[in-house]
Structure 1
Amino acid sequence: MSVTSVLTRENFKKNAINSDFQESEMNALIESASQVIAPLWPISEFAARNPWMGLEKQSFDEVACWLKDTRDVDIYPSASVILSAKSKGEIDEVFVKMGLQRWLDSHPLKIPRDVAERFCHAALRLDPLPSSLLSSLKLKEMADGLSGLNTERTESFFKQPISSFIENQDSERLVNTLDHHVIKWCKLYLDDSQAGWTMPNREEGFYRAWKSLIQYDPALSKKQRERLKSLPQEAHMALKEALFSLKIPESEIQTYLEGHLLSLPGWAGMMLWRSRHSSHEHALLTDYLAVRISMEWALIKPYLPLTNRRSEKKVSITHLLASWIHWGDLTIGEWSQMAAAKQNEYLTFAYRFDEKLRRKLWLEAWEQTHTDRLSQKIISKQPKTNNKKSVLAQLAFCIDVRSEPFRRQLEKEGPFETIGIAGFFGLPIATMELGSNHSQASLPVMLNPQHIIKEAADKNELKLYQHRRQTVNSLSYTFKTMKQNVLASLLLPELSGPWISLQMVARSFVPRRADRFIRNLRETWLRKPNTKLLLNHVHHLDEEIPVGFSKKEKVDYAHQALKMMGLTENFAPFVVICGHGSHSTNNPYSAAIDCGACGGAAGGFNARVLATLCNLPEVREELASGGIEIPEYTVFAAAEHKTTVDELQWIYVPELSEVAQEAFDRIEAIMPKVSHNANAERLAHLPNFTSKLKNPNAEAHRFAKDWSEIRPEWGLARNAAFIIGQRELTQDIDLEGRAFLHNYDWNKDENGDLLANIIAGPGTVTQWINLQYYASTVAPHYYGSGNKATQTITAGLGVMQGNASDLLAGLPWQSVMQSDYEAYHSPLRLLIVIQAPSVYVERLLNNDLAFREKVQNGWVRLASVDPEGHWENW
Structure 2
Amino acid sequence: MNTLLAKTLILEKEPDYLDLDINELVKSASKVIAPLGPINTFAARNPWMGLEGQPFELVARRLKDTCDVHIYPNDSMFQSARNRGEINQDFLEMGLQHWLDLQSLELPRGVGERFCRAALMQDKPSSNLLAVPELKSLARKLRRFKSQITEKHSVQTYSQCLEQLAGERVAHDLNRHIIKWCKLFLDESQAVWSMPNREEGFYHAWRGLVQHDPALSHQIRKQLNNLPKEADHALKEALLALEIPYSEIQDYLEAHLLALPGWAGMMLWRSQQSTQENSLLTEYLAVRISMEWALIKPYLPLPEQRMDKILLEPLIAAWAQWGNLPINAWSQLSSIEVKARLTLAYRFDKILRNRIWLEAWEKTYEDQLMKMITSKQLTAADHIKSALAQFVFCIDVRSEPFRRKLEKAGPFETFGTAGFFGLPIKTNELGSKHSHNSLPVMFKPQFKVKESSTEFELKQYQQRQQAVNSLSCTFKTMKHNLLSSLLLPEISGPWLSLQTLARSFVPRSAGYTFRKIRDTWLNKPSTELLLDHVHTSETELPVGFSEEEKVHYARQALKMMGLTDHFAPLVVICGHGSHSTNNPYASALDCGACGGASSGFNARVLAALCNLPMVRQTLEIEGISIPKDTVFAAAEHITTLDQLRWLYVPELSDAAQKAFNRIQATLPKVSDEANAERISQLPNLGSDYKNPKAEAQRFAEDWSEVRPEWGLARNAAFIIGERRLTQECNLGGRAFLHNYNWQKDKNGALLANIITGPVTVAQWINLQYYASTVAPYYYGSGNKATQTVTAGIGVMQGNASDLLAGLPWQSVMQSDQEIYHVPMRLLVVVQAPREYVERLLDHDLALHQKVQNGWIRLASIDPEGHWESWS
| Shorter-chain TM-score tier | over 0.9
> Is 1:196 matched with 2:192?
yes
1:816-835 deviation per Cα after TM superposition (whole angstroms, max 9, x unaligned): 11111111111111111111
Report how far residue 219 of structure 1 moved.
1.1
Secondary structure, aligned partner of 2:468: helix
Mean CA deviation greater in 633-642 or 222-231? 222-231
Report how far residue 332 of structure 1 moved.
4.4
Mean CA deviation greater in 157-166 or 492-501? 157-166
**Alpha carbons of 1:376 and 1:19: their partners in 2 closer, same or farther (altered >3 Å)?**
same
> Is 1:703 matched with 2:710?
no
Runs of 4+ that moved beyond 6 A: 9-12, 16-20, 152-158
Instruction: Report the equivalent of 1:618.
Output: 614
Instruction: Report the equivalent of 2:371.
Output: 376
1:459-499 deviation per Cα after TM superposition (whole angstroms, max 9, x unaligned): 11111111111000000000011111111111111111121
Q: Answer yes or no: is the 8 Å Cα contact 2:65–2:153 preserved in 1.
A: no
Unaligned runs of 5+ in 2: none
Instruction: Report the equivalent of 1:815.
Output: 811
Instruction: Report the equivalent of 1:730.
Output: 726
User: Could you state the TM-score of these two structures normalised by the residue count of structure 1?
Assistant: 0.96
> Is 1:589 matched with 2:585?
yes
The counterpart of 1:775, out of the listed 763, 771, 777, is 771
Alignment of 1:685-700 (within 5 A): 685-688=681-684, 691-700=687-696
Secondary structure, aligned partner of 1:782: coil
> Is 1:325 matched with 2:320?
yes
Equivalent-residue separation in structure 1 for 2:15 and 2:234 (angstroms): 12
Instruction: Report the equivalent of 1:63.
Output: 59
Secondary structure, aligned partner of 1:487: helix
**Alpha carbons of 1:240 and 1:59: their partners in 2 closer, same or farther (altered >3 Å)?**
same
Instruction: Report the equivalent of 1:3.
Output: none
Secondary structure, aligned partner of 2:839: helix
Instruction: Report the equivalent of 2:411.
Output: 415
Report how far residue 245 of structure 1 moved.
1.9
Q: Answer yes or no: is the 8 Å Cα contact 1:155–1:311 preserved in 2.
A: no
Give the CA RMSD over aligned residues. Answer: 2.2
**Alpha carbons of 1:158 and 1:759: their partners in 2 closer, same or farther (altered >3 Å)?**
closer
The counterpart of 2:858, out of the listed 862, 867, 874, is 862
Equivalent-residue separation in structure 2 for 1:369 and 1:705 (angstroms): 39
Secondary structure, aligned partner of 2:61: helix
1:257-312 deviation per Cα after TM superposition (whole angstroms, max 9, x unaligned): 111111111000000000001221111111111111111122222223333x3624
Instruction: Report the equivalent of 1:794.
Output: 790
Alignment of 1:196-275 (within 5 A): 196-275=192-271
1:329-359 deviation per Cα after TM superposition (whole angstroms, max 9, x unaligned): 3444555544554344323222221111111
The counterpart of 1:523, out of the listed 496, 516, 519, is 519
The counterpart of 1:351, out of the listed 346, 353, 364, is 346
Equivalent-residue separation in structure 1 for 2:245 and 2:331 (angstroms): 46
Equivalent-residue separation in structure 1 for 2:369 and 2:165 (angstroms): 58
Q: Answer yes or no: is the 8 Å Cα contact 2:161–2:307 preserved in 1.
A: no
> Is 1:766 matched with 2:762?
yes
Equivalent-residue separation in structure 2 for 1:759 and 1:51 (angstroms): 19
Equivalent-residue separation in structure 1 for 2:488 and 2:673 (angstroms): 47
Equivalent-residue separation in structure 2 for 1:597 and 1:34 (angstroms): 24
> Is 1:720 matched with 2:704?
no
Report how far residue 118 of structure 1 moved.
1.9
Secondary structure, aligned partner of 1:834: strand
1:620-639 deviation per Cα after TM superposition (whole angstroms, max 9, x unaligned): 11111111110011000000
Report how far residue 155 of structure 1 moved.
8.3
Letter in 2 for 1:386: A
Letter in 2 for 1:673: K
Secondary structure, aligned partner of 2:376: coil
The counterpart of 1:367, out of the listed 353, 362, 369, is 362
Equivalent-residue separation in structure 2 for 1:503 and 1:490 (angstroms): 21
**Alpha carbons of 1:332 and 1:31: their partners in 2 closer, same or farther (altered >3 Å)?**
closer
Equivalent-residue separation in structure 2 for 1:259 and 1:331 (angstroms): 40
Alignment of 1:450-849 (within 5 A): 450-541=446-537, 544-688=540-684, 691-849=687-845
1:198-225 deviation per Cα after TM superposition (whole angstroms, max 9, x unaligned): 1111111111111111111111111211
The counterpart of 2:124, out of the listed 128, 132, 140, is 128
Mean CA deviation greater in 468-477 or 97-106? 97-106
Q: Answer yes or no: is the 8 Å Cα contact 2:179–2:801 preserved in 1.
A: yes
Secondary structure, aligned partner of 1:61: helix
Q: Answer yes or no: is the 8 Å Cα contact 1:183–1:805 preserved in 2.
A: yes
The counterpart of 2:337, out of the listed 339, 342, 366, is 342
Q: Answer yes or no: is the 8 Å Cα contact 1:683–1:689 preserved in 2.
A: no
Equivalent-residue separation in structure 2 for 1:718 and 1:32 (angstroms): 33
**Alpha carbons of 1:415 and 1:340: their partners in 2 closer, same or farther (altered >3 Å)?**
same
> Is 1:304 matched with 2:306?
no
Q: Answer yes or no: is the 8 Å Cα contact 1:511–1:705 preserved in 2.
A: yes
1:9-52 deviation per Cα after TM superposition (whole angstroms, max 9, x unaligned): 99995568979957881111111111111101110111111111
Q: Answer yes or no: is the 8 Å Cα contact 1:158–1:252 preserved in 2.
A: no
Letter in 2 for 1:313: D
Q: Answer yes or no: is the 8 Å Cα contact 1:157–1:311 preserved in 2.
A: no
Letter in 1 for 2:650: P
Equivalent-residue separation in structure 2 for 1:61 and 1:703 (angstroms): 39
Instruction: Report the equivalent of 2:109.
Output: 113
Secondary structure, aligned partner of 1:799: strand
Secondary structure, aligned partner of 1:394: strand
Letter in 2 for 1:69: D
Equivalent-residue separation in structure 1 for 2:324 and 2:149 (angstroms): 30
Unaligned runs of 5+ in 1: 1-8
Report the count of equivalent residues: 865
**Alpha carbons of 1:602 and 1:126: their partners in 2 closer, same or farther (altered >3 Å)?**
farther
Report how far residue 599 of structure 1 moved.
2.0
Report how far residue 193 of structure 1 moved.
2.1
Secondary structure, aligned partner of 1:533: strand
**Alpha carbons of 1:216 and 1:593: their partners in 2 closer, same or farther (altered >3 Å)?**
same
Report how far residue 540 of structure 1 moved.
2.8
Letter in 1 for 2:315: L
The counterpart of 1:431, out of the listed 427, 434, 440, is 427
1:390-445 deviation per Cα after TM superposition (whole angstroms, max 9, x unaligned): 10010000000000011001001011110000000011111111111111111111
Equivalent-residue separation in structure 2 for 1:712 and 1:564 (angstroms): 32
Q: Answer yes or no: is the 8 Å Cα contact 1:785–1:800 preserved in 2.
A: yes
Q: Answer yes or no: is the 8 Å Cα contact 2:377–2:727 preserved in 1.
A: no
Secondary structure, aligned partner of 1:91: coil
Equivalent-residue separation in structure 1 for 2:173 and 2:292 (angstroms): 9
Instruction: Report the equivalent of 1:288.
Output: 284
Equivalent-residue separation in structure 1 for 2:337 and 2:377 (angstroms): 58
The counterpart of 2:78, out of the listed 79, 82, 85, is 82
**Alpha carbons of 1:727 and 1:236: their partners in 2 closer, same or farther (altered >3 Å)?**
same
Letter in 1 for 2:487: L
1:704-754 deviation per Cα after TM superposition (whole angstroms, max 9, x unaligned): 110111111111111111111110111120011111010111111111111
Q: Answer yes or no: is the 8 Å Cα contact 1:17–1:247 preserved in 2.
A: no
Equivalent-residue separation in structure 2 for 1:172 and 1:644 (angstroms): 48
Report how far residue 134 of structure 1 moved.
2.9
Mean CA deviation greater in 327-336 or 199-208? 327-336
